[in-house]
Structure 1
Amino acid sequence: MLNINTQGTITHQGGQLAALAGELQFSSDFLSELQQKAHTTQRGYAGNIKLFFQYFLNREPTRSDVTEFWGLDEESANTLILKFKNYLVSSGRKSATINRYLAAIKYLIKAGRNLKRCKYRFDTDRIESMRVTKYRDTSGVGVDEYNKVFDVIDLTSVKGQRDYALFLLFWSNVLRRCEIAKLKVGDFDYHSSTLRIYGKGKGNDDTVVDLNEMVADSISNWLGCRYNLKPSDPLFIALDFHNSGHQLTGDGLYAIVRKVCERAGIRKRMSPHRIRHSGITDALDLAHGDYRKVQHLSRHADPRVILAYEDNKNQYQLELTNKLASRVGKRRNPK
């Protein structure tokens, strides 16, 4: 079984654990719990938890390791987590990185409790998260630069109809790629010019957003290129040889944006999220700085995020830095 020695590390006493090198051998129950998270979160949590076990065991974790970790008492388990956090701090990991590791371990414990395999809790009073200074790169492209994509989209082709609708929707409703990747035909209502979108992760939270008539027409024209549609069919599908007919994934949307923008001659490396940044920045101009209106558009829970876009757009910090610098540094009595 797994125990803690006097140095606070895990040791293996008796029994032979089946180590499958190179693979994450978490229990199927835990993997089922983990599937409630978005794919990127799944991969991140699995990798973070793997390194947590590797730090103590010096090998790949097994199903038995996870089960035995869940079976520890509260003091022992939280001592391990605190030792791991101290290791991350001493090795120079960034605060945000350390917090991601702690979030993964906290989720592992939560999953164990949900499965009735773990009786203790993550001690948040003893194991505090690191303070993080947030930085958001909200740089994007201007509307004139973005409009170059429509010069290279061929509206006489099915692919062109799809891409035209996608690029209009990305900009005008500043949607996230994960939101577009979840859309079904039944989520689109042409008569009311609305679209039902689902939030990040795998939750069922949804909201209805209004569409500009031109955007609604473009989506309708794209759907008109397809046959025998059902409400459960994906709204946007792949058209390449290997994936034709399958729902566009987040990675697929990223690839489309990158390729079309490169073909349009946009020099900045573009992504769905950079289009979102660009649209939000342009919306701030159109709303004359009314960040609350823009918050309704972007659906950010925290209005301070919008203020970061405002500062990036107007470069308030640089403006004041230049004014302050102009007032100092001059020698009063040069020799």
Structure 2
Amino acid sequence: MNVDSNFKHYLLVEEYLSENTIKAYLSDVKAFLDFVKIKKYDIKSEDTVISYIKNLIKKSYSIESILRKISSISVYYDYLIKEKVIDKNPVLLIDKPKKWFKLPDFLNEDEILKILDTVDKSTPHGFRDYIIINMLYTSGMRISELVNIEVSNCDFRRGIIRIKGKGGKERFVPIHKKLIEELNKYLEIRHNYFVKGRDNGYLFLNKFGNKLSREYCWKIVRKYAEMAGIKKKVSPHVFRHTFATHLLKNGADLRVIQMLLGHSSILTTEIYTQLDDDSLRNSLSIHHPRFKR
């Protein structure tokens, strides 16, 4: 089944999505519409969306892929509402069973401290790496967002960094006071050690004065995690999961976390509400009178 050609224009003009993201959305929606046509389901029903999700799970799609497809389908429904084809978005009516999703890997606070303590901050490269890891954990930004930060995006007086997320959408990420002090120190190191010739403006540079690549940052994260003796599979995205999980565990509102992470859909953020059994039991032990005994 073909997707309405006007939908692509809607994604470009109304949603401000990039070409690659638009291609992914169109592919996701086409697959969903083909499923609806084959099964002869009612596209207006939330049961149709639930059946499609179950079909994806049966096909062993990853949680990330399923959530992305749900997000794409939800945007398509919003488009149909705008075009007055339907009057409600069935994706928003779904009460998703918890067993559909697993909590992403994350680090505990001790593991974070171990990794940060492993970094030798006395060298230019070490101090840069320390700032990178610290920012990943305390901001929750994607690695693609971090490597594209320019010095001009940093407002230390207000304590925020302007970053460009998926689809070119901009958001402001707060940074804490201690990190601002360390960033100011890093800027001196950056100017004296990393900048070679003409300054390209990017915050994080390699020894040749070029912007750091995502792949290099992956290596940085893995190196220090291994040095700290962390057995988990640690990647930059694990720090993003850790940021969100620690916020939620300490009482942050889910909508606030959604804004900080730059999620377009609350469905994506809801994955962090599924704390592990130990966390739930520990919470009960602290707060419930029967469990205290």
Q: TM-score, normalised by structure 2?
A: 0.59
In structure 2, the partner of 1:51 is: 31
* Partners of 1:195 and 1:209 within 8 A in 2: yes
Aligned length: 265
Runs (5+) with no aligned partner, structure 2: none
Question: Per the alignment, do residues 209 and 111 of structure 1 end up closer, same or farther by CA in structure 2, a change over 3 Å counting?
Answer: same
Distance 2:187 2:243 in 1: 19
Distance 1:316 1:189, change over 3 A: closer
- Counterpart position of 1:261: 225
| 1:166 corresponds to 2:128 | no
For residues 282 and 55 of structure 1, what CA distance do their matches in structure 2 show? 38
Deviation at 1:80, TM superposition (A): 4.5
**Which residue identity lines up with residue 176 of structure 1 in the other structure?**
M
User: Out of 201, 213, 216, which is 1:233 matched to?
Assistant: 201
More helix by share: 2
> What code does the residue aligned with 2:162 have?
I
Alpha-carbon shift at residue 99 of structure 1 (Å): 7.2
* CA positional deviation for 1:235: 1.2
Q: Percent identity?
A: 16
Could you give the per-residue CA deviations for residues 18-73 of structure 1, whole angstroms, max 9, x where no partner exists? xxxxxxx9997577459834799657534422422543789xxxxxxxxxxxxxxx
Q: Among 267, 279, 286, which residue is 1:312 paired with?
A: 279
Structure 1's 102 and 246: CA in aligned 2 closer, same or farther, altered over 3 A? Answer: same
Q: Residues 194 and 210 of structure 1 are in contact (CA less than 8 Å); yes or no, is this contact kept in structure 2?
A: yes
Q: Give matches, 1:1-335, under 5 Å.
A: 29=9, 32=12, 36-37=16-17, 45-55=25-35, 79-80=42-43, 82=45, 85=49, 87-88=51-52, 91=55, 93=57, 101=69, 103-108=71-76, 119-124=83-88, 129-133=93-97, 136-137=103-104, 139-143=106-110, 146-151=113-118, 153=120, 155-156=122-123, 159-171=125-137, 173-178=138-143, 179-188=145-154, 192=157, 194-198=159-163, 200-201=165-166, 202-206=168-172, 209-212=175-178, 213-225=181-193, 226-228=195-197, 233-237=201-205, 245-246=210-211, 248-249=213-214, 253-276=217-240, 299=260, 312=279, 315-317=282-284
What does the per-residue CA deviation read over 1:92-134, in whole Å, with 9 as the maximum and x for residues that have no partner? Answer: 749x8877545423434656899xxxx4444426676421256
> How far 1:227 sits from its partner (Å)?
3.6
Return closer, same or farther for 1:195/1:239 CA change in 2, 3 Å cut-off: farther
C-alpha distance in 2 between matches for 1:128 and 1:167: 35
> Structure 1 residues 269 and 194, CA, compared in 2 at 3 Å: closer, same or farther?
same
Extract unaligned runs of 5+ from structure 1. Answer: 1-9, 13-24, 59-77, 327-335
Opposite residue 177 of structure 1, the aligned amino acid is R
Q: CA deviation at 1:269?
A: 1.9
Change in CA separation of 1:309 and 1:140 when aligned onto 2, cut-off 3 Å: same
The structure that has the greater radius of gyration is 1
Deviation at 1:88, TM superposition (A): 1.7
Could you say what secondary structure the match of 1:132 adopts? coil
**C-alpha deviation, 1:221, in angstroms:** 1.7
Q: Which has the higher contact order (CA 8 A, sep 6+)?
A: 2
Separation in structure 1 between the aligned mates of residue 50 and residue 272 of structure 2, nearest angstrom: 34
When residues 198 and 53 of structure 1 are mapped into structure 2, their CA distance, relative to the original with a 3 A threshold, is: same
TM-align CA RMSD: 5.4
Residue type at the aligned position of 2:132: L
TM-score, scaled to structure 1: 0.53
